[in-house]
Structure 1
Amino acid sequence: MTQKKKTQAPKKGLHPRNPHRQRYDFEALIKSCPQLAPFVSENKFGDLSVDFTNPDAVKTLNKALLSHFYQVQHWDIPPGYLCPPIPGRADYLHYIADLLADSNDGVIPQGKRVIGLDIGVGANCAYPIVGHRVYGWRFVGADIDPISIKTAKFIIESNSALAGGIKCRLQKNADNIFTDMINPDDTFDFALCNPPFHSSMAEATAGSERKVKNLSANARKKGTKAFEPTTKGKQPALNFGGQNAELWCPGGEAAFIKRMIAQSVEKQLQCYWFTTLVSKKENLPDIYKMLKQVGAVDVRTIDMAQGQKQTRVVAWTFLSSEQQREWREQRWQ
């Protein structure tokens, strides 16, 4: 296995190609999505903002971002399902593009010849939407939740901008990740995943409550009226939502990624780059150890920063230098 390379992202701010690096232009967003208007107000500094502790405000802001930047006019998710921040989802994809470019003489391979696999596509379908609209890539989105798959398919079918770009597959075995999702005749240029972070629903609920409290405190500092999501004896409102499988799994992030690595071995010649987000840096040593044990040829760690939040992508491939050259010549050049 070659030495792990580390690509540093800026300590603060998003990827240079991420269109969400600048402050939100709420006037433009409201033009694209008038439903956003009731959620926008001035804070004590005279800046327009929304209350990020309000789940309805967060969902409508994401709806506006998808409409304004990606020409997706019809997007919605069922109550309680994960509503991810679009800027962070876009960041992961831009770093995937850099990873592919680094394997292709600095040129980002674009268009329908490039196919990605999104593990845990969710009802929001965010990664395939952004990846298809920005780079023209095709996607397969996999999920264990039938409602997520049904909703993602409805979004795809409702937007002509997504036609022919995204397919969805229902994973019927919760223990499987790549198994049964990568078929014998499939070839993927990359796989991506935002794995369940927590190890139990109680842990997920506690984490969400801390997030809401932090957001509320930040809103008060900025002079923005904060949505009060909880009352005594009630569960906290999750500003980004999330069903069980989206938020937690037995063993949490570490266990999920280890299963990913183990199953990637079985599909090692059918995917150029396997990648996953790793939120907890303390999980990295075990991840690197397992990747070495299974014979990964190249392992990369890509650091990302979103405001104060630090995270990273770990990517690995089993393809030899010769196999990588043949892959590029046949699919990207």
Structure 2
Amino acid sequence: MALNKYMHPRNIYKTPPDFGKLSKLFSEFSSISKVDVTGKIMIDFKDPHSLRILTKCLLKSDFNLDVDIPEDRLVPTLPLRLNYILWIEDLLDSIQRRDNIKGIDIGTGACAIYPLLAAVKNKWNFLATETDSESLSKAQENVQKNNLQEIIQLKKNTTQSIISHVFSDDPNQEFDFCMCNPPFYSTLQELYESRSPARLPPKNGFTGSPQELITEGGELEFCRQLIKESKMYKECVNIFTTMVGHKYNVSVLIQQLKLEGIKHTHTEFCQGRVTRWGLAWTFKDYDLIKLVPPRDKPRKKHTPTIYVLPELPNRDNKTDIALNKIKEILDKLDITNNLIDKRGKNVTLDIVAHTNTWSNQRRKRRLERRIETVAKITKPNEEKDEEHKTKLNSESVSGSDLPASTRDDESVCSQDKSFDSNVDDQLVDSVQVCKGQPLVHAFLKLVKKENSTLLELEYLDGNAGKEGLHQIAQYIKNNWK
């Protein structure tokens, strides 16, 4: 479903570009476009070369920017980039900052797209950083080509820090905001497996280099480090922001900001068929969530599901004991769990399940017993068959002279092997694996109330939905004692 109607209200791309006009203005665009039977001009969005030409032509026609996009680098999607800039405009306007704006672009890339767009649109000053030498060199060419070197400075980041290096030369610098579009993935494998097979194929072709898409620990750890470093420079930057590519990371980061008492807000960037998220926080005296609310129509909040856990036999009903028991069950189910808050007798875990290991437990045990039974039958038959083969080889007996019992044994063995294989297939089918987005992502809370321990589950997202979380809760209850 197209999400253009949910774009930022000031985004010029709420109305799709006029390809006919672009075809007349730019011969490059004309060379990659074609006319369908209805007379509509189209391009192949799955072709990276076509995407590159489209973006270059839009930057020239709509912003008078000449930008060279290398073939081995990410092609920036302009509606998304513009959505991010417009949201920062809203944030700055809410705190009465409208003139002499100075921002930081972390990881500017080869196109330096954010500084270029904001410079020509708003006359913002930028310090743009980059770790990759080739991308930095190309970004410098693009800035100089558009005569914007006076308001856009570029700096090579040779450190492991995200923002700290900016202040290494001058710790007293002041900025209105920082922005960042961090790499989404932690490994190439995660990149290739990131899209759920249940989703429709992407409309656009794939572009980008590993250094633009991959970072150690993935997007979540990158953003956590940015939050950590931001505390050291809370007086130097009015508003810290970052884009977030995975929905289930947004909830984790918001929870972290809440627990640390950091004022924040967030938003959705909707464009085409893609949704991204923006997260902003500040250490100044701005109540961002009131100044710039997340959305006019906020997401439906999931009501937590609460269970009373039975008392464990021969054990005191203490939170630590319940926590150890919960972690033991989650580890058994291969559900990752991270402690994100522990205050007094209340504990909060962030849990993520990528594989369904909790369903059909009785069926799995029954199939496992049948496999064991088949193995016991199969092994003697195989040994007996091997004895027959040895005997036949020594006596040079032809296959047609084999005793009927031997042929029967071979038949039984063959059937048993076939049955064994079928059982294995059934066991594999009984476990669902979802690559990319998890099956279930939730907050699990243990709350001590009087003499009882409450299990509180707050669903965040996942392909298995709330039903998957309820199944996990039922498994915990069934295996509690």
**TM bucket normalised to smaller:** 0.7 to 0.9
Q: Which residue of 1 aligns with 2:211?
A: 245
Whole-angstrom distance in 2 between the partners of 1:109 and 1:43? 46
1:306 corresponds, among 246, 271, 275, to 271
Is 1:202 matched with 2:189? yes
Q: Aligned residue for 2:347?
A: none
- Checking the alignment, whether the CA contact within 8 Å between 1:280 and 1:311 is kept in structure 2 is yes
Q: 1:109 aligns with which of 98, 104, 113?
A: 98
Q: Specify the alignment match of 1:255 in structure 2.
A: 221
Distance 2:195 2:55 in 1: 19
Cα offset, 1:93, TM superposition: 0.2
Looking at structure 2, the residues matched to 32 and 209 of structure 1 have their Cα atoms a distance apart, in angstroms, of 39
Task: Note if contact 1:84-1:240 (Cα within 8 Å) is conserved in structure 2.
Answer: no
Q: Is the 8 A contact 2:238 2:283 kept in 1?
A: yes
Instruction: Give the aligned partner of residue 165 of structure 2.
Output: 180
Larger radius of gyration: 2
1:34 maps to amino acid: S
Please give the TM-score of this superposition, normalised by the length of structure 1.
0.78
**Cα contact 1:13–1:307 (8 A) shared by 2:** no
Which protein has greater RCO, CA pairs closer than 8 Å, 6+ apart?
Answer: 1
Q: Once structures 1 and 2 are overlaid, which stretch shifts more, 267-276 or 20-29?
A: 20-29
| Number of residue pairs the alignment of both structures matches | 283
The alignment status of 1:266 with 2:232, answered yes or no, reads yes
Give the Cα separation in 1 of the matches to 2:126 and 2:52: 23
Correspondence for 1:137 among 108, 119, 124: 124
1:127 aligns with 2:114: yes
The 1:18–1:249 alpha-carbon spacing in structure 2 relative to 1, beyond 3 Å, is same
Q: Quick one: distance in 1 between partners of 2:153 and 2:253?
A: 30
Mark the CA change 1:209 to 1:77 in structure 2 (over 3 Å): closer, same or farther.
Answer: farther
Deviation string, structure 1 residues 199-228 (Cα, Å, up to 9, x no partner): 211222344898x9824xx6xxxxxxxxxx
Residue aligned with 1:285, SS: helix
What is the aligned-residue identity percentage?
Answer: 29
- 1:40 aligned residue (19, 33, 51): 33
The residue type paired with residue 191 of structure 1 is C
Change (3 A) 1:321 1:79: closer
Shift of 1:35: 1.3
Residue 222 of structure 1: aligned partner:
none
- Cα distance per residue 1:52-86 (max 9 Å; x no partner): 1111100111100110111113x213221111111
Contact kept? 1:33, 1:63, Cα under 8 Å = no
Given the superposition, is the C-alpha separation of residues 193 and 131 from structure 1 closer, same or farther in structure 2, using an over 3 Å criterion? Answer: same
**Equivalent residue number for residue 320 of structure 1:** 285
Structure-2 residue corresponding to 1:285: 251
Contact in 2 for aligned 1:12/1:307 (Cα 8 Å): no
1:157-187 deviation per Cα after TM superposition (whole angstroms, max 9, x unaligned): 1113x242211111102x2100112341321
CA contact (8 A) 1:193 1:277 kept: yes
**Over the residues paired in the alignment, what is the CA RMSD in angstroms?**
2.6
Stretches of structure 2 that go unaligned for 5 or more consecutive residues are: 288-481
* Corresponding residue of 2:156: 170
The 1:13–1:51 alpha-carbon spacing in structure 2 relative to 1, beyond 3 Å, is farther
Shift in Å, 1:319? 1.1
Task: State the distance in 2 between where 1:321 and 1:87 align.
Answer: 28
Q: 1:208 to 1:172 in 2, by over 3 A?
A: farther
Map Cα deviations across residues 112-153 of structure 1 (whole Å, 9 max, x no partner).
x10111111000111111111111111111111011111000
For the 8 Å contact 2:106–2:180, the answer to whether it is kept is: yes
| Structure 1 residues 33 and 244: alpha-carbon distance in aligned structure 2, compared to 1, 3 A threshold | same
Give me the whole-angstrom Cα distance separating, in 2, the residues matched to 1:213 and 1:288: 29
